Amino acid sequence: MTGRVRDLALHLLDRQVVDTDGAAVGNVDDVELHVPEDGSPPYVIALLTGPQALGPRLGGRLGSWLVFWSHALSRHSGADPGRIGMELLTDLGAQVTVARSRVELGVHENEDRARTYFVERIPGARDARR
């Protein structure tokens, strides 16, 4: 059986990830591969999102800067990127749809904290359309 063919950079990286309500979750910044021990080809087991996935992909000073600040601002000591398991996907097309909300996924901790503690405290912010 031959399945649908996609190229990683052309069809998957940088695609927008949305939840089932159409709300933006993030972008596909990288993918996690599982390498089977039997020597068969690796396959994608998760989409990675956020600066800790994008930084290493960009490389150079900009990539290091992204990873450093994301790590420094994080409440958790781990430097792992946001991870969305492939089993959560409901559609894989021009955009990627997942069966969880952004909050449930918890993949953008720093952005969510900035929204809660800074943006939403700006006068008039609560009146803005979400």
* Residues at the contact surface with other proteins, assessed by CB under 8 A: 1-10, 12-13, 30-33, 35, 41-45, 48, 53, 56-57, 85-90, 92
In the complex, the smallest distance separating the C-beta of residue 25 from other proteins, rounded to whole angstroms, is: 16
Closer CB to other proteins, residue 4 or residue 61?
4
Closer CB to other proteins, residue 104 or residue 112?
104
Q: What are phi and psi of 96, to 5 degrees?
A: -105, 125
Nearest to 102 by CA among 31, 16, 23: 23
End-to-end CA gap in the chain: 44
User: To 10 degrees, what angle do helices 60-73 and 51-58 make?
Assistant: 160
Query: What's the angle, vertex CA 124, arms to CA 121 and CA 127, rounded to 5?
Result: 110
Q: Looking at this protein, which amino acid is placed at residue 105? A: L
In the complex, the smallest distance separating the C-beta of residue 11 from other proteins, rounded to whole angstroms, is: 8
In the complex, the smallest distance separating the C-beta of residue 38 from other proteins, rounded to whole angstroms, is: 12
Closer CB to other proteins, residue 44 or residue 79?
44
Closer CB to other proteins, residue 18 or residue 86?
86
Q: Which two tokens stand for residue 36?
A: 């089977």
In the complex, the smallest distance separating the C-beta of residue 73 from other proteins, rounded to whole angstroms, is: 22
